[in-house]
Amino acid sequence: MTPQTIAGAGEYWDHYYGSEFVFGLGTEHILDALQRVPPTGTWADLGAGSESLLWSIALDAHRLIAIDRDEQRLRILRAYALSREPRGAYWTVLALCGRGRADFTECCARVSGTLAADCLTEAALPLRPGSADLVTQFGLLGLTTSPGHFTRAWHVCHEPLTPGGWAAGANWTATRREGRVRLSRPLYQAAFTRSGMTPLLIEQVPVSGDPDFDSVWIYLGRKQ
């Protein structure tokens, strides 16, 4: 069985990014990496949960499709997009990215669809191959159970990517690792290679201030 996400939908929504921005959890490093991605058309965020709009602030993506297996998290995301009102840590993220409230409103308007699907099986995602210019995941692939599971799920997740398209994301290493894949540079390199992708960044950043996680692996790459 796949390891569980660290918190249920409501608790996650309240705990992470709901109040003050917490430096040291790796978020600021991920935002830096995302700002290297050029403007894109269709962006698919996998394991999106309720937080795609946080990452959207650092990106310039025309249309967001958020996919998660948990309907409740997607409902929270849709309601948030309709509210157009940045909350808690989102204000800091706007400032860190040199953006303002009007930019957030635009990000909200760009949420074009939410889809409920399991992204960690061998089954194809509900997106056509070549239909996405950018595929991201934050905290999804780190829930895989073994190197084989990680590379297979990576492959399925990046099948929708168009040639030349971008991939970006991050996975935290849990302090209680039971059942979770052990993340490493060779693992990421193998996953990139198997999916015909070129890594542009694979970086492990130490995390402080969260007893559940001790580092985060951040990556950027492109499909050949």
Interface residues with ligand SAM (CB under 6 A) are 2, 5-6, 16, 47-49, 51, 68-70, 73, 118-120, 138-140, 143
Residue 9 or 161: which CB sits closer to ligand SAM? 9
Q: How far is the CB of 142 from ligand SAM (least distance, A)?
A: 8
DSSP annotation string for 163-205? EEEEEEEEEEEESS-TTS----HHHHHHHHHHTTEEEEEEEEE
Residue nearest to ligand SAM (CB): 49
Question: Which structure tokens are listed for 104?
Answer: 């957030």
Residue 70 or 203: which CB sits closer to ligand SAM? 70
Residue 51 or 159: which CB sits closer to ligand SAM? 51
Q: How far is the CB of 56 from ligand SAM (least distance, A)?
A: 11
Q: How far is the CB of 117 from ligand SAM (least distance, A)?
A: 6
Residue 122 or 163: which CB sits closer to ligand SAM? 122
Residue 140 or 202: which CB sits closer to ligand SAM? 140
Q: How far is the CB of 224 from ligand SAM (least distance, A)?
A: 26
User: What is the spatial distance between Cα 195 and Cα 190, in angstroms, rounded to a whole number?
Assistant: 9
Contact call for residues 154 and 109 (beta carbons, < 8 A):
no
**CA max distance for the chain:** 43
Residues 6+ apart with CB under 8 A from 77: 48, 49, 50, 51, 52, 53, 66, 111, 114
Query: In DSSP terms, which residues pair with 193 in a beta bridge?
Result: none
